[in-house]
Amino acid sequence: MVEKSKKILITGARGMLGMALSKTLGSLFKASLLDKDDCDITDSAAVKYFFARREFDVIIHCAAYTAVDKAQDEPELAYLVNAQGVKNIFDATEGSNCLFIYLSTDYVFDGAKPAPYTEEDTPRPINVYGQTKLKGEQFARLFKRYLIIRTSWLFGPDGNNFVRTILKKASEKSVLDVVNDQVGSPTYTLHLALAIRKLLETFINKGVPCGVYNITNSGVCSWYTLACRIAALKKLPVEIRPIASEHCFRKAGRPKNSALSGEKFYALTGFRLPRWQEAVEDYLKNL
């Protein structure tokens, strides 16, 4: 049994995943929510002041700079949020026995591997966003107890995401060009939050080795295939055409393959997330 008296802090609480976690973990812990308006994690003094008056059993760090293309022009800010923010929390809680959970990304990989990436594969990020998230992982490893969760292609009810973008563009245009040579695993924030709850329960009740865990919805697709699925489910009167990445003109490079293997997480918890097709359908039904 999980002790409901345990105290949990969720940073980035107003983001897509933070909102999903607050709903999912509210009955499991005494949950506190932290967002930029409450404490700027890039301000070391503010972070020390915040934690000087509070103690937590678990910190789930969702706060992040996620504008992949914009990060190419703002590398210092991306580093401050994605990496230095983690170091600031470590410095403010040093000596604590709290469990620190860092949400990371598939973009720590270069995409050259033809098969899904495992937790043992060596990261080689090809953009600033991925580089700063990898540095955040390195700071997360400073904690006595830590879990690094790599996930990918998030969508959910509380924020902008690819699904909403396709719905919006389909209402404005009759033809959409979507990249077909980048593949990954679309992940529904509510499903990811349930998986994190399962990981926490396992950690508290049985113990879980510190380290990296991949958690995504099951299956792999391209952005084009995902767009087609959205259009079919919503019966959108739009033509979707596949294009190559080089015709997309994005500032930041993207890995051609960023699929993540979830076998380590499944072997530990016995929990497998639904396939991405079901996840998209569930999301659209509740949108």
The catalytic residue positions are 129
Query: What does the DSSP 8-state code read for residue 82?
Result: I
**Beta carbons within 8 Å of 14's beta carbon, 6+ residues apart:** 33, 35, 158
- The answer to whether residues 260 and 276 touch, using CB atoms and an 8 Å cutoff, is no
In sequence order, the β-bridge partners of residue 153 are: none
Buried b (16+ CB within 10 A) or exposed e, 33-72: bbbeeebbbbebeebeebbeeeebbbbbbbbbbbebeebb
The DSSP bridge pattern shows strands 7-11 and 30-34 to be parallel
Residue 227 to residue 180: CA distance in whole angstroms:
10
